[in-house]
Amino acid sequence: MTKARDLMTAGAECIGENETLVDAARKMRDLDVGALPICGEDQRLKGVLTDRDIVVKCLADGGDPATAHAGQFGEGKPITIGADDSIEEALAMMTKHQIRRLPVIDGHDLVGMLAQADIARAMPERATGDTVQAISQP
């Protein structure tokens, strides 16, 4: 059985909940990623911030990314997957919640990020198309 830890990108870097969106955007640029886990002062996962969040939820609403903090965008309890959970379970979570990236945790520790693309690369072509379609359904 393929597990989340087998396909995830290990060593995901967090953006602190008190760091600004400018800091987050620069970190995304430097890491060449479109999403960052938001971690609290207690090093616990608070949510996930995407480049789209910065544009749609801050800039488009007239917000100032130099004063807006990442923690403002960690809405609700984060959707995660356990490192030893199956890829099938990860796909089910992605499909159910219509998300393309899942933080991977081991206990309470963030150990990586699992993206739709990580799973797609490991699947046969037909299954990849079905997966992308299922996750992208409105």
In this predicted structure, what is the pLDDT of residue 128? 59
Q: Which are the contacts of 48, defined by CB distance < 8 A and separation ≥ 6? A: 35, 36, 37, 38, 74, 78, 101, 103
Q: Could you say which DSSP state residue 101 is in?
A: E
Residue 37 structural domain: 4-136
d(CA 107, CA 124): 31
In this predicted structure, what is the pLDDT of residue 122? 80
In this predicted structure, what is the pLDDT of residue 112? 93
- Contact in structure between 119 and 90 (CB atoms under 8 Å): yes
Question: Closest by alpha carbon to 5, among 135, 102, 131?
Answer: 102
Residue 43: left if φ>0, alpha if ψ -120 to 50, beta else—which one?
A: left
Q: Which amino acid is at 54?
A: I
Torsional sign, CA 17, 7, 109, 47: positive
In this predicted structure, what is the pLDDT of residue 108? 84
The CATH code of the domain that includes 92 is 3.10.580.10
Q: Could you say which DSSP state residue 109 is in?
A: E
In this predicted structure, what is the pLDDT of residue 1? 84
Tokens 């130099």 appear where?
Answer: 66
In this predicted structure, what is the pLDDT of residue 127? 61
Q: Walk along the chain (138 residues) and give the pLDDT tens digit of each residue.
A: 889 999 999 988 999 999 999 999 999 999 999 999 999 888 789 999 999 999 999 999 999 999 999 999 876 688 999 999 998 899 899 989 988 899 999 988 899 999 988 888 887 766 656 666 666 666
Q: How many structural domains is the chain composed of?
A: 1
